A and B are shown apart, each in its own frame.
Chain A
Amino acid sequence: MPENGKLFKPLDPLLHSELRLAVMSILLDAGSADFVYLKSETGATSGNLSVQLDKLQQAGYIEVTKGFKGKMPQTVCRITDKGKDAFAAYVEALRSYISTDKG
């Protein structure tokens, strides 16, 4: 507990991971993005990105649609309303940590 007696808001463990947070940040701005774009923007390996996307999907934070663009397979990720709410709550919690540190 901090000195001023305020309780820290709990941080969502699903979002408190660099790669998952980066993916959610991109999707929050773009709404949806394909796997290739997410991979290039985050610099993650395909295997790691797949695992993290799966975790976000299981939590209901994103929807993953597999399809084709022309003849090429395409995986599109879209942020859900639940994901947006979780992200907003996470940022709010982060702010409480920073304001408590300063205050």
Chain B
Amino acid sequence: MENNFSAENSLRLIAETIDRSRRTIARNSGKPLILWGALVALTSIIIWALWSKTGSAVWNFLWFAMTAIGFVCMRFLTRNSEKVPETEVSRMLGKIWMWFGIFATGFFVLVWAAFGIRCAIGMEGPLNVDMTLIIVLLMGFCGTLSGTVLKFKPITISSVVATALSVLFLMVMSNDSAIRILTFMILGVFALIVPGVILQKQTKN
């Protein structure tokens, strides 16, 4: 293992080592994608059912419960998985989704604040903000960025397809607020579960 290998071999060794290390890290990314996809899809179905039955949009607060459940499940999921270090790529992915969370939560809070202020000052009429569309676009954008950073085409392609399908669904179902929440089921399945399953299959192969 000492100093008798060529320049080409050295460069090949560097490239192969980095590539192998990244694949080891990617091995643990499939299950979290499937978990979050299933949670998003399931939560959207529950909110749609409750919203349709009660007529109240307050069930949207279940998204916060879903986030908490997701983090608890992640702890169990990663407990027995292979311990891998963070890389520049995984750090970048973490930051992309951290900013998605901050923007989505901030936007949600701002909308409710605006709603409260309008009620307080006696303004009438609906608040003309398409929350679902904005969150869908944010999520699709972050998913596409993630696929690009990971250099994993199934994530990039499925994020673009999922966003296009979701926006189309929102436009077609533009009159029914409750049913529009099912957009997240489309996103959960196409943008998270599908690439997660592909990643898992590649890992097993």
Tell whether, in the assembled complex, residue B7 and residue A98 are in contact, meaning their CB atoms are under 8 Å apart.
yes
Total A-B residue pairs with C-beta atoms closer than 8 Å?
Answer: 66
- A63 in contact (CB, < 8 A): no
- A32 in contact (CB, < 8 A): yes
**What are the residues of chain A within 8 A of B14 when measuring CB–CB?**
21, 25, 91
- A31 in contact (CB, < 8 A): yes
B80-120 interface code vs A (CB 8 A; 1 in, 0 out): 00011111100000000000000000000000000000000
**How many angstroms between the C-alpha atoms of A8 and B17 in the bound complex?**
25
Stretch at the interface among B18-26, B124-132, B158-166, B194-202: B18-26
Q: Which residue of A lies closest to B83 (CB)?
A: A37
A26 CB contact (under 8 Å) in B3, B5, B17, B88: B17
**How many angstroms between the C-alpha atoms of A19 and B24 in the bound complex?**
18
User: What is the distance, in angstroms, from B74's C-beta to the closest C-beta of chain A?
Assistant: 19
Tell whether, in the assembled complex, residue A97 and residue B84 are in contact, meaning their CB atoms are under 8 Å apart.
no
B6-33 interface code vs A (CB 8 A; 1 in, 0 out): 0110110110011011101000000000
For the complex, count residues of A whose C-beta is within 8 A of B: 28
List residues 8-52 of chain A with CB under 8 A from any CB of chain B. 13, 16-19, 21-22, 25-26, 28-34, 36-37, 41-42, 48
Q: Which residue of A lies closest to B5 (CB)?
A: A18
Tell whether, in the assembled complex, residue A22 and residue B13 are in contact, meaning their CB atoms are under 8 Å apart.
yes
Known: A22-B13, A26-B17, A41-B20. A16 touches B3 (CB 8 A): yes
- B176 in contact (CB, < 8 A): no
Tell whether, in the assembled complex, residue B17 and residue A13 are in contact, meaning their CB atoms are under 8 Å apart.
no
**What are the residues of chain A within 8 A of B5 when measuring CB–CB?**
16, 18
- A94 in contact (CB, < 8 A): yes
Q: Which residue of B lies closest to A76 (CB)?
A: B85
A63-103 interface code vs B (CB 8 A; 1 in, 0 out): 00000000000000000000000000011001101100100
B1 CB contact (under 8 Å) in A18, A37, A90, A91: A18
Tell whether, in the assembled complex, residue B11 and residue A13 are in contact, meaning their CB atoms are under 8 Å apart.
no
